[in-house]
């Protein structure tokens, strides 16, 4: 109890790590804190009130929007717009980037890219979902509407990123480039409280996470790596354990805590895989590197990819560094083979 620190207190404390901090980023993070609590409240009611299931619309990627996708998107958008620290957002649920038109918003220096409710098809069956966010300094001049180029920056330029996991407990995990910190929500006091300071990826893990139903379509190097994970080798603690929730945030969170690798590869018919570079892979890759892990598309560091489109997809391999290195060994032996 004597050590209890809320997310709000921690953010202010950490602000002094940045000598010229103006408090704008802290204010932005506190609007994410607020929106996360609201989404937590709504998710906890799922099943009791009519908020599960499809909303009847599709997003730009042709995926059916769930009611909670729409609700989470509206909640984060409103929270970010209200604090005047953000000049625009890009979201999985918005076709185009949204430039906020308020005068104070246009003077703001940050843009936010967000997947408001990742893994939302899991909601209907009471499985964990998440929110993923990424924050950049704008490139366009302040005082004008945000432009597309503000959103199409490589992940190395992120000022901060994080996720909220709505699981057996709700947690918010974030980094501003000085380590990764996790906060668990205590509903009785309505605050996220510091529970995981300076989270580190174990260098080697023993869990692999992949949708193995697609095995037949995977690149040959990935198939060989999966077989390697399943081989018996007492010294190397193989076979590894297979765990796949189908919610990126949840699969990633478990692997971060325990050590492991998450794979969402290309297939012959989907050469860019499924996951989106800007609001799924980049923020997770930023946290991963901050925690001492690795994130690649099989060849390049995710964070160095120069984005071309808002909803661009990319193959994604993320986790414990030794596991990613071993995977790369297999991929290099079979370039371009399926
Ligand atoms: P979504 O943004 O439409 O929810 O899709 C992203 C989700 C990730 O959370 C998860 O890792 C992946 O899709 C699972 O895909 P699949 O069902 O193909 O295994
Ligand atoms: Mg998503």
C-alpha of residue 240 to centroid of ligand 1, in Å: 22
Any idea which ligand is nearest the CA of 64? 1
- Residues of the chain above pLDDT 70, percent: 93
Whether 249 shows a pLDDT value over 80: the answer reads yes
Pairing between strand 207-209 and 241-242?
A: parallel
Angstrom distance (rounded) from CA 183 to CA 6: 8
CB-based contact 238:227 (threshold 8 Å)? no
State mean pLDDT over 77-83. Answer: 94
Whether 323 shows a pLDDT value over 70: the answer reads yes
Cα dist from 311 to 48, 93, 120, 201, whole Å = 33, 10, 17, 28
C-alpha of residue 268 to centroid of ligand 2, in Å: 22
Whether 124 shows a pLDDT value over 90: the answer reads no
Domain annotation for the chain: domains and CATH numbers: 7-196 (3.30.540.10), 207-333 (3.40.190.80)
Angstrom distance (rounded) from CA 82 to CA 247: 29
* Position in ligand 1 atom list of the atom nearest CA 63: 3
Angstrom distance (rounded) from CA 320 to CA 302: 15
State mean pLDDT over 292-318. Answer: 98
How far, in whole angstroms, is CA 232 from its chain's centroid?
Answer: 33
User: pLDDT of 88-108, one tens digit each?
Assistant: 999 999 999 999 999 999 999
Any idea which ligand is nearest the CA of 120? 1
Angstrom distance (rounded) from CA 207 to CA 194: 26
Any idea which ligand is nearest the CA of 114? 2
Whether 17 shows a pLDDT value over 90: the answer reads no
pLDDT score at 2 = 62
Ligand 1, atom 7, lies closest to the CA of: 119
State mean pLDDT over 61-67. Answer: 69
Ligand 1, atom 2, lies closest to the CA of: 118
Angstrom distance (rounded) from CA 135 to CA 155: 10
Pocket of ligand 1 from Cβ distances under 6 Å: 63, 92, 115, 118-120, 211, 246-248, 274
- pLDDT higher at 13 or 212: 212
pLDDT score at 62 = 67
User: pLDDT of 29-53, one tens digit each?
Assistant: 999 999 999 999 999 887 666 666 6
pLDDT score at 180 = 97
- CB-based burial label for 289 (10 Å; 0-12, 13-18, 19+): buried
pLDDT score at 58 = 72
Bridge partners, residue 182, by sequence: 173, 196
Instruction: Specify the range with the lowest mean pLDDT, choosing from 13-22, 95-104, 149-158, 295-304.
Output: 13-22
State mean pLDDT over 323-331. Answer: 98
C-alpha of residue 185 to centroid of ligand 2, in Å: 22
- pLDDT higher at 304 or 23: 304
Q: Give the neighbor-by-neighbor strand order of the sheet with 316-319.
A: 241-242, 207-209, 261-264, 316-319, 294-296
Bridge partners, residue 317, by sequence: 263, 296
pLDDT score at 269 = 85
pLDDT score at 47 = 66
C-alpha of residue 30 to centroid of ligand 1, in Å: 27
Mutate which of 248, 281, 295 for ligand 1? The one with the most ligand atoms within 8 Å of its CB, which is: 248
Angstrom distance (rounded) from CA 45 to CA 204: 38
Whether 19 shows a pLDDT value over 70: the answer reads no
- Residues of the chain above pLDDT 90, percent: 82
Angstrom distance (rounded) from CA 63 to CA 55: 11
Q: Give the per-residue SS3 of 238-290.
A: ECCEECCCCCHHHHHHHHHHHCCEEEECCCCCCCCCCCEHHHHHHHHHHHHHH
Any idea which ligand is nearest the CA of 128? 1
Whether 223 shows a pLDDT value over 70: the answer reads yes
C-alpha of residue 249 to centroid of ligand 2, in Å: 9
Long-range contacts of residues 51-60, Cβ cutoff 8 Å, at least 24 apart: 52/123, 52/124, 53/124, 59/92, 59/93, 59/95, 60/94, 60/95, 60/311
Angstrom distance (rounded) from CA 114 to CA 78: 13
Token look-up 């032996």 returns 333
Mean pLDDT of the chain: 93
């Amino acid at each position: 109890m004597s050590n209890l620190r809320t997310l709000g207190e921690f953010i202010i404390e950490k602000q002094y790590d940045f000598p010229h901090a103006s408090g704008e980023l802290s204010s932005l993070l506190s609007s994410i804190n607020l929106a996360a609590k609201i989404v937590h409240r709504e998710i906890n009611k799922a099943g009791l009130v009519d908020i599960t299931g499809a909303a009847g619309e599709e997003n730009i990627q042709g995926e059916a929007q769930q009611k909670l996708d729409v609700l989470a998107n509206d909640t984060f958008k409103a929270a970010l717009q209200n604090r005047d620290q953000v000049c625009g957002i890009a979201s999985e649920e918005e076709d185009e980037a949204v430039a906020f038109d308020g005068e104070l918003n246009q003077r703001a220096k940050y843009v936010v890219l967000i997947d408001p409710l990742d893994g939302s098809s899991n909601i209907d069956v009471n499985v964990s979902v998440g929110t993923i966010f990424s924050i950049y300094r704008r490139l366009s001049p302040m005082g004008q509407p945000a432009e597309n180029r503000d959103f199409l920056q490589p992940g190395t330029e992120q000022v901060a990123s994080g996720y909220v996991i709505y699981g057996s407990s709700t947690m918010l995990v974030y980094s501003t480039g000085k380590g990764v910190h996790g906060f668990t929500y205590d509903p009785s006091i309505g605050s996220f409280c510091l529970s995981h300071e300076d989270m580190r990826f174990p260098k080697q893990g023993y869990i692999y996470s992949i949708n193995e139903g697609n095995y037949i379509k995977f690149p040959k190097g990935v198939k060989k790596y999966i077989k390697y994970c399943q081989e018996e080798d007492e010294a190397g603690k193989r076979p590894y354990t297979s765990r796949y929730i189908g919610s990126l945030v949840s699969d990633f969170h478990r692997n971060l805590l325990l050590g492991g690798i998450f794979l969402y590869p290309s297939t012959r018919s989907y050469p860019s895989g499924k996951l989106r570079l800007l609001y799924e892979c980049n923020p997770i890759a930023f946290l991963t590197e901050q925690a001492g892990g690795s994130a690649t598309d099989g060849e390049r560091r995710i964070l160095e990819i120069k984005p071309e489109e808002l909803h661009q997809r990319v193959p994604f391999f993320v986790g414990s560094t030794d596991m990613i290195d071993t995977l790369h060994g297999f991929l290099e032996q079979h370039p371009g083979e399926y």
